Structure 1
Amino acid sequence: MSMLAARFALPKRQAFKLAVHSAFFVILTALLLSHGIEPYSTSAPSGSLWRQLFFALAKMIWWFSGATMLVSSIRLFVIFERRPREAKLIQDMLAGIIYVGAILSVISYIFGVPVGTLIATSGAFAIILGLALQSSLSDVFSGIALNLGRPYSVGDWIMLENGTQGRVVETNWRATHLLNAANDLVVIPNNLLAKSQLVNLNNPDESHGITMPIRLIPTRSPGAIEQLLETVLLASNRIMHSPAPMVTITGLDGDVIEADLSFRIKDVSQSSTAKNEIYDLIYRHAHAAGISLALRCNPPSETLVRPENPIDAVKESSAILLKAMQLFCTLTEAERETLMLSIQQNTYPRGSEILAQGERSSALMIVAKGVVAIRRRYDGTEIELNRLSPGDFFGERGVLMGAEEPGRAVSLTQLVVYRVSSDCFSEIMQKRPALADEIGQILAERLEKEKRLVGVGDETSSHPNSLADRIRYLFHLPHTVSPQRSSGR
């Protein structure tokens, strides 16, 4: 009854549980002794069979009540600060020992069976049972060792030597459960886990290091290649910039320069996203710098042909950029040619402010070479909205929507920018007003991506129809019904 009262009335207060169990044990001891019954004695009381059964039951309750009182004291006093899992394990082991002792005492003092003889005669049975349960017992003791050693905790991402990896979602006496990248549950027996070499990707902190090998054709010096790859790491929005990422040249011959990019990410789950971004940035920055990626076997005579005339070089580079940009993917060849004729090239030194926050740009800025950071002052602090690389653009709010810039544009490296004036856009859109809907859809996707990236938006609406209406109003275009709008009716 004491156990029931303590469990249901006071489930969260160990001190009161101990008090209830102690009071019950003391009262029961007093009652038994006052009637001449010694629970720790093997002597049986005289009288009828029912009297003997009653006193045997009372002595049995006394032994288990004492065991319960000791277990309650262990739950109260055996505590490891900041290590609750180890404390729970030690408490369970001590409680098991106490209850086993209580059972043996009942067998010895109530039933009169010699415990030593019982243990000796059950040795053969224990050996047979141990052999039969060898695998399960190995998992149990391995689970105890893993809990005491604490190489990982629930929520950590671990990787085994055989390549299995995942986030720990549950660990028990029998096995450890991992949730892998494919969202599948992997159950690993503790015996195998204890023998395996594992790497905890969340310790000593949540950040995770990545090394990516890169191969480039040696059309430039190793120093220029190193500077290019440092620019790639500087342009990334997904990796951590503190501690600073590193570029290490690992090999050089007549056909290839090999380098390792080493950087850290905030969480191992962002590994694929960060790698995809780095590969994209390497392609864009290498192309802008006139450096080609190396093949597995490069022909020795492979060279890169570049136009000698600077004007032709600008024209060729701008044509390639316009074809690759999503903003201009719906333009015809004639419309792209009109844009290329109006393009102006500008260069800026590192640290220059190209556009100020709140400024309305009169031209679309296309990054041809280098890195641009868009920084916004928000609630008294400056946050970084985005980092732009070759093929990215900024200033589109002023040109296409008549809106102010959400942040200032600052060059992080030596910068080359192609400017496309608003007059050129006006000439193209007057000939094809439906282009406003296509550009509005692309700008809406860009605005949503920026909001997801930093979690901070601005007052500019990101709905495609709203953006298309602003473009029409700015360029005085007739209002047409796009297929997207008509399908929504």
Structure 2
Amino acid sequence: MPLPPVSELILTTVLACLTAGNWRIAWRPAWLRMATGAFFFVLLTLLTVKTSGPPVAPVFDTASMAIGLWQQGLVAAWWILGGRLVVGLLRLPLFRERGTGEAKLGSDLVAGIVYIAAVLAVVNFVFDLPVRALLATSGVIAIVLALALQNTLADVFAGIAVGIEHPYSIGDRIWIDGAIEGVIVQVNWRSIRIRTDGNDIATVPNSLIAKARVINRSKPTTRRDDAVQVSCDASAKPDLVMDLLRQATMLCPKILADPAPSVLLSRIGLRSNSYDIAFSVAHTDHLGAMKSLLLKEVLRQFRYHNIRTSLPAGAAVDGLASPLVETLTPEQLLAEIPLFAALAAEKRDALARTMVRRMFEPTKTVLSQGEAGAGLFIVASGVVEGSRMMAGHSHVVGRFGPGDSFGEISLLTDGPNPGTLVAVTRCILFELRRNELQPLLAAEPRLAAALEASARRGQAFLARDAAKAASAPPGPPAQFLAQIRAFFKP
């Protein structure tokens, strides 16, 4: 016997509230959606039991067609809302950060199964239709569709398998066998989309990914390890070459110190030896630039130590290579520096004879921040690190290698050194003292302009590098320019 039916108005009001409530909270937080859904489900359960009995065995009012239809709608709504609540509960363990755009293949599959079960329950319990016949008919249709869509289904099931394993996610950088590399921008049921380094979008079906080799560049970290190989003539001592190659890595700011770069002698020959330099960078975006910079620094080290990268073809091995030198001569060193390129050769040689050779062991201080500048220093060999004290902490500004110079700002302004210079490796420096350089600058306007431009570039770099320096600033631009002009006066 059916329970006494409630009025059609109450049923209409309940169904309208259910529809409006679920629509209003569609974009609300998950906890609010779950709480509201549970409230409506409890309310709907009470109404369903009172009007039609248990939802698995409902009894509808046959005297009034309108009331009977609304009772059927009420029970159908109970099954659908119950299925939605179950899907929400099952998705909680799989909940991921919103805004990723990633298709939750596993949870979507579970949701589909639950909703299909809810629809079949409605067909069986509400409309009293034979479910077995429906399933048999749908099975035949499923076989036909599977044969027609076998490639698409292969992508879908491969996507499900990959989604369960979860080897990558949105934003990861991956490499796929077949020279496809880039950042994942979308994952869906059939494929993934990758933004390549050429700013193209590559769409790769899931079935191909399931069979291919995939390397995730972002996990467990974004760090990238790589190596370059360089060759030089066999007459160069391996210990010296390996030390110079390590110094070249020190001059590349984005090469990580941990793990430390390594240098190996990989091949020996009659004419040339090969060396492998292994290094790491924090991100793939830095890799190309650091490989290029590292090779440039290697060439610079070889040039300033007179090491050939290769021997001329057909030349004899014995006695051909230039003799190895600890550093270039002062004359050769000045000729290599663009700052003194405008000087005539005889004036440059005369200036070179006034240079003072100084040697520093590792960790020895070359210049201290705040002390008076003595002259212009030119690095002939080794690596020097510059740092500044800011807010009570030492901050590394940069490093200098063979051919670099420093000290222009304090030399021209007669002010204190803006930073501290410390030898990282065994270093050989040449110093041009102020009293030796001042008469030449007064007589050579082009050299004076070049030195002034170098000093101003150095000041601009320091200003960008630190908002506040512990040492006294050199003053406003007008005052700084006046100090430089005063230096050039005889």
TM-score range normalised by the length of the shorter chain: 0.7 to 0.9
* 1:288-307 to 2 correspondences below 5 Å: 288-294=304-310, 299-301=315-317, 303-306=320-323
Q: 1:259: which partner in 2?
A: 275
**Which among 214, 224, 244 is matched to residue 260 of structure 2?**
244
Deviations 1:46-72 (A, max 9, x none): 246544433332332222122223233
Q: CA deviation at 1:336?
A: 3.3
Q: CA deviation at 1:195?
A: 2.0
**Which among 387, 400, 411 is matched to residue 399 of structure 1?**
411
- Of 230-239 and 272-281, more deviation after overlay is shown by 230-239
**Which among 231, 234, 245 is matched to residue 247 of structure 2?**
231
Aligned partners of 2:302, 2:468: CA distance in 1, in Å?
A: 32
**Which among 384, 392, 406 is matched to residue 380 of structure 1?**
392
**Which among 398, 401, 412 is matched to residue 389 of structure 1?**
401
Deviations 1:59-99 (A, max 9, x none): 322221222232333345x3579999999554433322211
Please say if 1:165 is aligned against 2:178. Answer: no
- Of 282-291 and 397-406, more deviation after overlay is shown by 397-406
Q: What's the Cα RMSD here?
A: 3.5
**Which among 153, 164, 167 is matched to residue 169 of structure 2?**
153
Contact 1:160 1:196 in 2 (8 A): yes
Q: 1:483: which partner in 2?
A: none
Aligned partners of 2:300, 2:314: CA distance in 1, in Å?
A: 21
Aligned partners of 1:327, 1:136: CA distance in 2, in Å?
A: 66
* 1:51-66 to 2 correspondences below 5 Å: 51-66=67-82
Q: CA deviation at 1:142?
A: 2.7
Q: 1:474: which partner in 2?
A: 487
Aligned partners of 2:197, 2:478: CA distance in 1, in Å?
A: 37
Q: How many residues align?
A: 470
Aligned to 2:415, the other structure's residue is in SS state coil
Q: CA deviation at 1:282?
A: 0.9
* 1:445-464 to 2 correspondences below 5 Å: 445-448=457-460, 458=469
Contact 2:415 2:474 in 1 (8 A): no
Give the TM-score normalised by structure 1: 0.83
Aligned partners of 1:72, 1:342: CA distance in 2, in Å?
A: 82
* 1:1-150 to 2 correspondences below 5 Å: 1-2=17-18, 4-6=20-22, 8-9=24-25, 11-36=27-52, 39-41=55-57, 45-47=61-63, 49-76=65-92, 78=93, 89-150=105-166
Instruction: Give the letter aligned to residue 473 of structure 1.
Output: A
Contact 1:239 1:265 in 2 (8 A): yes
Q: CA deviation at 1:219?
A: 1.5
Give the TM-score normalised by structure 2: 0.83
Q: CA deviation at 1:450?
A: 6.1
Q: CA deviation at 1:389?
A: 0.8
Q: 1:318: which partner in 2?
A: 330
Aligned to 1:139, the other structure's residue is in SS state helix
Aligned to 1:474, the other structure's residue is in SS state helix
Deviations 1:126-145 (A, max 9, x none): 12322333333333333333
Name the CA shift for 1:10/1:324 in 2 (closer, same or farther; >3 Å): same
Aligned partners of 2:463, 2:157: CA distance in 1, in Å?
A: 50
Aligned partners of 1:201, 1:295: CA distance in 2, in Å?
A: 39
Q: CA deviation at 1:427?
A: 2.5
Identical pairs, percent: 27
Contact 1:14 1:75 in 2 (8 A): no
- Of 247-256 and 224-233, more deviation after overlay is shown by 224-233
Q: 1:349: which partner in 2?
A: 361
Deviations 1:310-346 (A, max 9, x none): 9xx98x6334433433433454546534533432322
Q: 1:482: which partner in 2?
A: none
Contact 1:158 1:198 in 2 (8 A): yes
Q: Which blocks of at least 5 consecutive residues in structure 2 are unaligned?
A: 1-16
Q: 1:485: which partner in 2?
A: none
Instruction: Give the letter aligned to residue 285 of structure 1.
Output: Q
- Of 18-27 and 242-251, more deviation after overlay is shown by 18-27
Q: Which blocks of at least 5 consecutive residues in structure 1 are unaligned?
A: 478-489
Instruction: Give the letter aligned to residue 211 of structure 1.
Output: A
Instruction: Give the letter aligned to residue 476 of structure 1.
Output: K
Contact 2:307 2:322 in 1 (8 A): no
Aligned to 2:329, the other structure's residue is in SS state helix
- Of 150-159 and 268-277, more deviation after overlay is shown by 150-159
Contact 2:407 2:417 in 1 (8 A): yes
Instruction: Give the letter aligned to residue 264 of structure 1.
Output: S
